[in-house]
Amino acid sequence: MANIRSGAATDVGKIRRRNEDSVLAGAGVFAVADGMGGHAAGDVASRIAVEALQRLDESSGPSGVAPLDVRDAIVQANADILAAAAADPAAQGGMGTTAAGLCLGIVDGDECFVVFNVGDSRVYRYAADTLEQLTVDHVAPEAVTLRRGVITRALGTDPGPRPDLWVRTAEAGERYLVCSDGLPLEVPDAEIASVLATCEDPSQAAEELVRRAVLAGGRDNVTVVVVDYQP
């Protein structure tokens, strides 16, 4: 399998009292989950989602993760969140979280990344001096111009949400960014690209992006994973 380097960073920001984001930087699975504001125990929901994806990472074999495995892990995460909400009287208002990330695997003999998303956390690809958003935000169209919207898909719902999945052939030298919406809320794409271009170490890049988001306002929790791929 490929040589993967990754780094992660998170911060509560300047406004929120607690950090409802959870993060995973595993051997081949990388994810961010953002507990939804206004829902009881959003931090618990995000942690449950990441735990399901961590089990996927730990159970993956030499061929990595298959797309259907990713879908099944997200389905299981949704079921686990519903069960936790039902068991906790304090969470009667429901638990909700976004989830986005990428998983290393092999499809038709080629090493690839399976990119997934539910909600408005994002996955970007940076290569050849170009930053490309790979995921599509699941927010109500009328709210897009406000930069913060009503999320139309989230984990913790019944029936469960349909995750978006994309399979991309892995390419040498590419860099991926997984983040909660607290990063693009504060830092424009051009500045994100500049940090990814100049910070060679993925841990330093993640920490710098989080630092800039907090300095720019820190209106939400902000969590970042940076993943570098070399075959």
Enter the DSSP assignment of 23. Answer: E
68 CB-near residues (< 8 Å, 6+ apart):
none
Report the percent of the chain where pLDDT is more than 70. 93
Specify the pLDDT at position 71: 97
Q: Which long-range contacts (CB under 8 A, 24 or more apart) does 80-88 make?
A: 80/48, 80/51, 80/52, 81/45, 81/48, 81/49, 81/155, 81/156, 82/156, 82/158, 84/41, 84/44, 84/45, 84/48, 85/40, 85/41, 85/45, 85/156, 88/41
Specify the pLDDT at position 231: 80
Q: Among the listed ranges 93-102, 122-131, 140-149, 217-226, which one has the minimum average pLDDT value?
A: 140-149
CATH of the domain at 66: 3.60.40.10
Angstrom distance (rounded) from CA 45 to CA 43 = 5
Residue 132 pLDDT greater than 60, yes or no: yes
Mean pLDDT of 107-126: 96
Residue 30 pLDDT greater than 70, yes or no: yes
Evaluate whether 214 touches 222 at the Cβ level (below 8 Å). yes
In 12-98, DSSP assigns E strands to: 21-25, 29-34
Calculate the average pLDDT of the chain.
Answer: 93
- Could you give the 3-state DSSP secondary structure of residue 90? helix
Q: How many domains does the chain have?
A: 1
Angstrom distance (rounded) from CA 14 to CA 10 = 13
Residue 77 pLDDT greater than 60, yes or no: yes
Mean pLDDT of 129-153: 81
Mean pLDDT of 223-231: 95
Domain that holds residue 176: 3-230
pTM, two decimals, is 0.94
Specify the pLDDT at position 195: 98
